[in-house]
Structure 1
Amino acid sequence: MDELIDILDEHGNPTGQSCLKSEAHRKGLFHPTIHVWFYTAEGEILFQKRAHDKDTFPSLWDVSVAGHIGAGEDILIAAVREIEEEIGLSVSSSDLERIGVFRSMHKHAETLIDNEFHHNFLCELKIPLEKLSRQESEVDDLQLIPIDVFKEKVEQGKFEGFVPHEKPYYQEILNAISKKLKA
């Protein structure tokens, strides 16, 4: 779905301009997104398998919930909205722990350049996987993966089947989840 999004400069600062998401992707304009990483008290991370017909990284395992922030939309409101849309889970903004903003640049084609600043959050998943309801147009599957299993993949740089985020990005996420599990 095409939507109006705000445009950022290369440092993540608002430019005061907005445009359709398709135009931002065509021109490689930076824009904000949310990433929400769900983890369980048992030390598992929730991954979503991106829909097979997505323009970017189809059928690859990715962050639990991700999405674009609408023009003028509050970041936390966008995160709560995307969680509800993609996995059918209602959470409060107070359930989300902000863990940083990460710059991401992926050139998929000459006319599809995805330059984003991911606003990342953690949230504990307190219900069974079977209780989640995936948005079929966005998500083909959901899976819990033990943190140790994923940590080993990241350390070895083996991202086969996963969205190829940069290794430092995945390491930051794993460190933040590990801290929560030790708390």
Structure 2
Amino acid sequence: MDEQVDILDEHGKPTGESCLKSEAHRKGLLHPTVHIWLYTPEGRVLIQQRGKNKATHPLNWDVSVAGHVASGEKIISAAIREVEEEIGIQVSETELESLGTFKAVHKISEDFIDAELHHIFLCKLNVPLSQLTKQESEVEDLALVPLFKFAEETWGLATTGKYVPHGPTYYKTIIKAIKSRT
């Protein structure tokens, strides 16, 4: 979906301008997204396999839930909305724990520069995997993986082509945060 997104300056502050997501990607304009990492008390991480028709990294494994923040939408509201849209469960604001932001700029092609400010959240997964309903247009598959295996495959980069390349610093932050809560 090509929704309106707010444009941010190099410091992550709103410029007061907005445009279609496709234009932001074409011009490399920084815009906000949400990343929600769900984990179990036993130390397993929910990962999603991106849909086969995604413009970037189709069929790679990625964050539990992610999406763009619509123009004028509050960050926390976007996080709650995306969780419900992508995996079919409702979470409350109090269940989402902010880990801060992570700026990522990836040149996909000459006319596609993905410049995003990820607002990262952790959320305990309180239902079994079987109760999740994946959004068919966005999500190919869902899996729960042990944190040590996830760390080995992302932080250790043992399986570099399997995951979206967010980089070791990003993955280390997520892994350390989840480890300290399980």
- Give the TM-score of the pair, scaled to structure 2: 0.97
Q: SS of the counterpart of 1:180?
A: coil
% same residue:
55
Deviation at 1:100, TM superposition (A): 1.1
Deviation at 1:153, TM superposition (A): 2.2
Q: SS of the counterpart of 2:114?
A: strand
Deviation at 1:43, TM superposition (A): 0.7
Q: What does residue 14 of structure 1 align with?
A: 14
Q: What does residue 164 of structure 2 align with?
A: 163
Deviation at 1:150, TM superposition (A): 1.2
Runs of 4+ in 1 over 4 A off after TM superposition: none
- Supply the RMSD in Å over aligned alpha carbons: 0.8
Q: What does residue 119 of structure 1 align with?
A: 119
Alignment-mate amino acid for residue 90 of structure 1: Q
Alignment-mate amino acid for residue 161 of structure 2: E
Q: Deviations over 1:17-38 (max 9, x none)?
A: 1000000000000000000000
Deviation at 1:156, TM superposition (A): 2.3
Q: Deviations over 1:99-157 (max 9, x none)?
A: 11000011111111100000000000011001000000000000001000111223422
Whole-Å separation in 2 of the counterparts to 1:171 and 1:156: 10
Question: Cα 1:144–1:111, aligned 2, differ >3 Å: closer, same or farther?
Answer: same
Unmatched segments (≥5 aa) in structure 2: none
Q: What does residue 71 of structure 1 align with?
A: 71
Residue 101 of structure 2 contacts residue 120 of structure 2 at CA under 8 Å; is this kept in 1? yes
Q: What does residue 151 of structure 1 align with?
A: 151
Q: 1:31-180 alignment to 2 at 5 Å?
A: 31-158=31-158, 159-180=160-181
Q: SS of the counterpart of 1:24?
A: helix
